[in-house]
Amino acid sequence: MRWTSLFAPTLREAPTEAEAISHQLLVRGGFIRQLQSGHYSMLPLAWKVSKKIVQILREEMDAIGAQEVMLPAIHPTSIWQKSGRLDAMGENLFKFTDRKDADQVLGMTHEEVIATVALELSSYRDLPQMWYQIQTKFRDEPRPKSGLLRVREFDMKDSYSIDIDDAGLDKSFNLHHLAYERIFARLGLKAIPVQASSGAMGGSDSVEFMVESPAGEDDVAICSSCGYSANVERATSTIPELENREEGETIEKFDTPGIRTIEALSSAGHPPEHQIKTLVYIVDGELSLLLLRGDHQFQEQKFCDATSSVEIVPAEEGAIQKALGASPGSLGAVGVDGINIYADPALKGRAAMTTGANEDDFHFSGVNVERDIKVDQWVDMRAIADGEGCPSCSESLRVARCIEAGHIFKLGTKYAEAMGVSVLDSEGNSQTPTMGSYGIGVGRAMAAIAETCCDESGLIWPMSVAPYEVVLTVVKTDDENSMKIADQIYADLDANGIDVLLDDRDERPGVKFADAELIGIPIRVTIGPRGLENGMVELLERSDYEKTQNEISVDKVADLLIEKVCSQRDLSA
């Protein structure tokens, strides 16, 4: 490709709304343009990167024996009702009614659909099966953000395994786990596999592949000592033992005029670690009290996983006032009956605690949790904090912000049961097969690479996914010899399968260099009259210009470039 024919509308400044580095650079580099919130047009450079990512995905899925399929993007609402996810996904699903008044949804994932295909299976001899597709998904995100990291329309590689039993599922899951490790290595991403919540997907186990980045939306607990890692939705930790305060053995009610927060009560002489934080939520339709230590934060997904709750929302103040007789800030669970009370295990054995008295401007001190509060269920709902102890080795945990680059799930029989899938086992008995689900977003992978492979000058694509592997920058396009040499090198590289871009624009060298750096082409060859006087061109690698600046003989440069590109293109393949 010659740059004069390339459509790559580069910008010197990023749009003001672009906060994530990947968003800024992909827009500035002429890769993407926004149509509306959460919807992006992939311009030629982005589409080339996307196709290379997809090729890696296909190669690794094929390598583990998965077969490629293509499933409908429009689904009848009925199959989502059967699985129970129509309500669980709620407004995240794009819903519409067709001309025959049939209710439809746009697919945000395909577990239900794949289970309908699995109805064709009849015997254990048909198993195992692994099917995958690369297809556009739709999710009605309430707050699309960060460019390609959170959108409403996106391409995804989703694959599914179907096995006769859990042992088979374990094997399929492990095959995908290893394939994902290879995929992310080939993409140039340092992805950490972490324990994760399965959320609305359901199932017994799931693993996320996380890439550290300030642009991420997930927090992950990581132990550098033993390798423990988990999303904070699943993470546990050890906390220092806390001695109870020396107070009287009986509850005392005291005035707290105007005190409504943990911090304000702390200033009045009651440290947060000796307070009981009382949250009021509607849990699956029932008003409930959730109790934590005052210095701990609530982790909603951890609570939902532990209680198998489907819907949990904060209670409105009117409902709180009616049930407890007080406003938020003066609430507690002492003496409360007839309301579900969940308590975090960090409150076990706590005495001499302070909590709201369910009367505005009053609190109780001297509260013994297990004596004075009727706890219905002890639930680990505490969000862990940076520096707490690793549950495996007790060393300090580090909590890092990450991008979720991939997620794999053990689904079990949930979807097969919902769709009525059954096969005959080896003894002739009918059995429901077990399933796994495995996803990688193509656009999100591109954004994660852009987020982590860049510098102040622009993108630094790994060779495996770079839109062009080599750029030939002609300093003076009006110099006949320079253009002749450039055309010759271009032809040699192109004939050997190298993605090469010839910058034949009539622009200042500085503009050409800046654009090549912004777009992130791995190798730049500068061709100018001065160097050609000695039969030389300059070769630089985008990852480190200072260390790779070399003058290369014109007659050797093509062979050297072919060797370099091929050796770097797929180091882990």
The confidence score (pLDDT) of residue 256 equals 95
**What distances in angstroms separate CA 279 from CA 284, 320, 476, one per listed residue?**
15, 10, 69
Same domain, 174 and 307: no
Residue 411 φ/ψ, nearest 5 degrees: -85, -25
Q: Do the beta carbons of residue 384 and residue 397 sit within 8 Å?
A: yes
- Kindly tell me if the per-residue pLDDT of 421 is higher than 90: yes
The confidence score (pLDDT) of residue 250 equals 86
In a domain, 507, yes or no: yes
Same domain, 473 and 555: yes
Residue 249 token pair: 């053995």
CA separation for the pair 362, 370 (Å, rounded): 21
Length of the chain equals 573
SS3 529: helix
User: Among 53, 120, 111, which Cα is nearest to 422's?
Assistant: 120
Same domain, 129 and 216: yes
Same domain, 410 and 525: no
Question: Over pLDDT 70: what percentage of the chain?
Answer: 97
The confidence score (pLDDT) of residue 247 equals 65
DSSP 3-state percent helix, strand, coil across the chain (nearest 5): 30, 30, 40
| Tokens 């706590």, located at residue | 350
For residue range 517-555, list pLDDT tens digits in order. Answer: 999 999 999 999 999 999 999 999 998 866 666 899 999
In a domain, 132, yes or no: yes
Q: Do the beta carbons of residue 106 and residue 72 sit within 8 Å?
A: no
Residue 311 φ/ψ, nearest 5 degrees: -130, 130
The confidence score (pLDDT) of residue 203 equals 66
User: Counting Cβ atoms within 10 Å, is residue 234 exposed (0-12), middle (13-18) or buried (19+)?
Assistant: buried
Same domain, 366 and 483: no
In a domain, 245, yes or no: no
Same domain, 430 and 510: no
In a domain, 246, yes or no: no
The tally of domains found in the chain comes to 3
What is the pTM assigned to this prediction?
0.90
Kind plus residue range of the DSSP H or E element containing 532: helix 529-532
In a domain, 475, yes or no: yes
In a domain, 391, yes or no: no
Query: What is the domain range of residue 351?
Result: 252-383
User: Among 236, 237, 173, which Cα is nearest to 204's?
Assistant: 173
Residue 82 token pair: 């059967």
Q: Which domain CATH number covers 554?
A: 3.40.50.800
| Packing angle of the helix pair 442-452, 21-28 (nearest 10 deg) | 100
The confidence score (pLDDT) of residue 92 equals 94
Residues 6+ apart with CB under 8 A from 97: 103, 104
For residue range 356-398, list pLDDT tens digits in order. Answer: 999 999 999 999 999 999 999 999 999 999 999 999 999 999 9
Same domain, 35 and 169: yes
Same domain, 355 and 269: yes
| Packing angle of the helix pair 44-63, 442-452 (nearest 10 deg) | 110
Same domain, 46 and 194: yes
As a whole number of Å, the end-to-end CA separation of the chain is: 26
Same domain, 273 and 404: no
- Kindly tell me if the per-residue pLDDT of 572 is higher than 60: no
Give the pLDDT mean for 97-110. 97
For residue range 476-526, list pLDDT tens digits in order. Answer: 999 999 999 999 999 999 999 999 999 999 999 999 999 999 999 999 999
Q: Do the beta carbons of residue 48 and residue 177 sit within 8 Å?
A: no
Same domain, 66 and 185: yes
In a domain, 153, yes or no: yes
Same domain, 141 and 199: yes
197 — pLDDT class (breaks 50, 70, 90): confident
For residue range 8-58, list pLDDT tens digits in order. Answer: 999 999 888 899 999 999 999 999 999 999 999 999 999 999 999 999 999
Strand boundaries in 376-452, DSSP class E: 377-378, 382-383, 398-412, 423-424, 430-431, 434-441
